[in-house]
Structure 1
Amino acid sequence: MSDKNIQDRAAGAIMGAFIGDALGLGPHWYYDLSELRRDYDDWITGYTDPKPDRYHAGLKAGQLSQSGFILKLMVRSLVGCGGYDTEDFCHRMDEELFPLLDGTPVNGPGGYTSQSIRETWRRRVQQMLPWGQTGGHADTTEAVERTLAIAVRYAYQPEQLAAAVSANTTLTQTDETIVSMTVAYGAVLGLLIQGHALDTGLSGKLMDLVKSGALPFHAVTGDDLQPPRPGDPDPPRAGRFASPDALLTPSYMAAAAVDPEIRIEPAWKVSIVYGMPCAIYHQLPAAYYLAARFRDDFKSAVLHAVNGGGQNQARAMLTGALAGAQTGLSGIPQYLLDGLDNSAVLGKLAVELAASVNPI
């Protein structure tokens, strides 16, 4: 597999995430779908301005939310340091983000600050706690949204991927289930950048990484996913995370996407099937489903993510990274690249990070 294809997929994942984030800026957090259709017609096809009385008011079509702002910080840190450096990332948060926040939700870059970032800001700025004592218990996807760049960087080094994603996640979110699901998403993204398909066999490849010790999950089941039988020994290596189930979800979603007897039509209704809210356990199944269903069609994947309402910005961002890793940067429609604010700068960062992905 050529380095060019690897770098195309790696850059596609990063730009896919930025595009998904920006697509969700205008129609963000409509839980009443009739209201979404009233404000944005029956089908959103591209970037849109936020309405004056809603989230992100005052921003323009194609701009990033705060999630995109933080992802950009992460990519710059990875490129500048040649890999993940906790101290550098935290310094960037201290110097470039936190001075712009005041602890309230409707504030800061992108016009909104999420729960986990607000809690971290309070511990770091108001309580003056050191990094490492700043994480809270939000069950949302903010850590996934920034650590996806770490997964790109370490796509061929799963042990380093898992360690770096875990370390960065706990800076803002400490619940072990949330950390495990965040690491699982990163591991999935890493395999897609390698060129593996998001299909029914992907989870088996992830489980092989568990058995080899590369991913820190506790494998209790056998190869056929059956529970231990009487007399079976305990696995020789107990991982950090109690269960590997977060690694099994992607292939179940991929199976649903290709099963002719399971149809979610139109595909945007995946948001209703798995839930519109912000929690990671609603978001990841929908993103896996859409990325598996539209593995060769970046545009359809992200637009169905956006048109499903609710927390569509996170859904589109996570779907965009997975879809972009499959189509590559070369498979992303030009109009989505052209309409992205500051696209040239973001594209340069994505290409620079992609150049550091090492298949050896």
Structure 2
Amino acid sequence: MPDKTTQDRAAGALMGAFIGDALGLGPHWYYDLEAMHRDYGEWIDGYTDPMPGRYHDGMKAGQLSQSGFILKLTAGSLVDRGGYDQADFCRRMDEELFPLLNGEPANGPGGYTSQSIREAWRRRVEQGLPWGETAGHADTTEAIERTLAIAVRYALDPAGLADAVARNAALTQGDDVVLSMTVAYCSVLALLVRGNALDPTISDKLMELVKKGVLPFHAVTREGLKPPRPGDPDPPRAGRFASPDALLSPGYMAGAAVDPAIRIEPAWKVSQVYGMPCAIYHMLPAAYYLAARFRDDFESAVLHSLNGGGQNMARTGLTGALVGAQVGLSGIPQRFIDGLEDGDALCALALRLAEQAATPPQR
């Protein structure tokens, strides 16, 4: 496969996330796979309408969920401001999203509002608290689903990425472990936009950035995870996050994907290996595995994620971003763009962000 330009990979990452989000809109949150098969058949291969009485009822095939709406809002802020401007992002949330919510789950753009966004709305709108006092304790990927746009923009500036992603994620997520896993995913995505493969060496590259003080993770061990020696400082590399383990996970999942002695067949059963629920520690291993296994095959990656059921909308959006960053926008089958509502406009947004991403931001 020919090399992809940074811009192509950056645009592919953002479009992969939009596509994955929209694919999951219809068959979202089926934990009974037999029920999903009765409603959608044995294999879902594209965009579908949500069933009456289920999540996102009233939406149509190819539309974005509320997570996609917020991702678009985030990307728009980045493009218009030339980088991450937290005040502008918060203003857009106040003006463009929160007036459309009422604090109930089955409400708002996309037909459903996630836990962390409901909690932020209550603190911000009902209680009148300032941004910065709006975070809740949801252990989900909701922050990643928007900050991946920041990762694309700051792909060539990993220190700036870590700072901007952590600050944005902390607006809605109060758990430091969730924040560390969010920064880790975004750091992986940035490496892929820069042309690295999601293979077993990805974690070594991330740990090298920790060693250089670029990524803000605490690490007690020496290179190669060797133990500290007598006289070594404690810690040799300090950072905001207590452990670098979130940076090690991608390498293990990528290793499992290429190890001939480890097979998950069919690949959609990855959801049953790592778990179908919404928590971040279920979502990320499955997304890393699928994106490593199908690194050159966008369609197989997102469809196996989708057909795994459970929280397949988040899983497929995160998988789509990781694989989109590897195959580039040019490697995404056109049918997924054609079937996406406002697909041309979303492509234009992705290309504008990608153009900015090709140049390191000034800080």
Shorter-chain TM range is over 0.9
Q: Which residue is 1:212 aligned to? A: 212
Q: TM-score, normalised by structure 2?
A: 0.97
User: 1:129 aligns to what SS in structure 2?
Assistant: coil
Aligned counterparts, 1:1-360, within 5 A: 5-359=5-359
Letter in 2 for 1:321: A
Cα distance in 2 for partners of 1:101, 1:307 equals 30
Letter in 2 for 1:354: A
Letter in 1 for 2:129: L
Deviations 1:252-306 (A, max 9, x none): 0000001111000000000000000000010000000000000000000000110
Letter in 2 for 1:276: M
Q: Which runs of 5+ in 1 are unaligned?
A: none
Deviations 1:163-190 (A, max 9, x none): 0000000000111000000000000000
Deviations 1:74-102 (A, max 9, x none): 00000000000000000000000000000
Deviations 1:151-209 (A, max 9, x none): 00000101100000000000001110000000000000000000000001110000000
Q: CA deviation at 1:232?
A: 3.3
Q: CA deviation at 1:211?
A: 0.6
Contact conserved, 2:219 with 2:236, CA < 8 A, in 1? no
Q: CA deviation at 1:357?
A: 1.0
User: 1:330 aligns to what SS in structure 2?
Assistant: helix
Cα distance in 2 for partners of 1:35, 1:223 equals 49
Tell me how large the CA RMSD over aligned residues is: 1.3
Cα distance in 1 for partners of 2:5, 2:238 equals 36
Deviations 1:26-47 (A, max 9, x none): 0000000111111111100000
Contact conserved, 2:4 with 2:195, CA < 8 A, in 1? no
Cα distance in 2 for partners of 1:236, 1:50 equals 51
Count the aligned residue pairs.
359
Cα distance in 2 for partners of 1:46, 1:151 equals 27
Letter in 2 for 1:119: E
Q: TM-score, normalised by structure 1?
A: 0.98
User: 2:270 aligns to what SS in structure 1?
Assistant: helix
Q: Which runs of 5+ in 2 are unaligned?
A: none
User: 2:96 aligns to what SS in structure 1?
Assistant: helix
Alignment CA distance shift 1:309-1:349 (3 Å): same
Cα distance in 1 for partners of 2:31, 2:295 equals 27
User: 1:61 aligns to what SS in structure 2?
Assistant: coil
Q: CA deviation at 1:221?
A: 1.6
Q: CA deviation at 1:231?
A: 4.1
